[in-house]
Amino acid sequence: MLLGLAVATLTLASLGASPAYANEADERTVLVFTHFHDDGSVTPSSLSCIGGQAIHGHATFGLMPGDTWEGSSEYDICLKPGPTSDILTFHGVETFTGTVIGCGTGTMTYTLTHGFVRLEANPTAPNGTQVWRIVAGAGTGELAEVTGGLGVSVFTILPTLANDGFFTGTLTCQHD
């Protein structure tokens, strides 16, 4: 069910997601599919989080052969109670440092929205999802040329906040 929701969200959100440029030939669309692991080690974050708890954490990307991102990330998210006691919602920002196959090496930042977690003691299937969107102009190195991007992430998260999952979507790389 969560995977279907994630695909539907990506489909709806991707309408108009690619920015327009005078010379479209200088753009490259790159498919994103990468696995990640987060050990759940978090510290308090300075992110504004009225009515919730702001946390800072790290994740590692590129865990499987064929993954299109290889590197690590740092994130700041605001966790808030959902409509029932077993639901959390979240939003925030994450910066990836590493290599994106087809775009290059450096850093890129993306927002995290529509975050949803169903709390389970021993999840056996994905119980979380989020939408990610590139913040244009916030990259460094070759990834400064990432001008847009949008996708979803589906993951399984434990009560310890340790989680594993994948990101999927597309990136737009501008080249000179």
List domains and CATH numbers for the chain: 2-10+27-174 (2.40.350.10)
pLDDT-based confidence at residue 24 (cuts at 50, 70, 90): low
50-57 contact pairs (CB < 8 A, 24+): 51/80, 51/81, 52/78, 52/79, 52/80, 52/81, 52/90, 53/78, 53/79, 53/80, 54/78, 54/79, 55/79, 55/161, 57/161
**DSSP letter string over 65-123?**
TT-SEEEEEEEEEEEEE-SSTTEEEEEEEEEEEEEETTTEEEEEEEEEEEEEEE--SS-
Q: What integer pLDDT is reported at residue 31 of this predicted model?
A: 97
What would the pLDDT profile of 30-61 be if each residue is shown by its tens digit? 999 999 999 999 999 999 999 999 999 999 99
What is the pTM assigned to this prediction?
0.86
Query: Quick check: 149 pLDDT over 80?
Result: yes
Q: State the Cα–Cα distance between residues 171 and 14, nearest whole angstrom.
A: 11
Q: State the Cα–Cα distance between residues 31 and 151, nearest whole angstrom.
A: 10
What average pLDDT does this structure show over 87-113?
Answer: 97
CA 63, chain centre distance (Å): 15
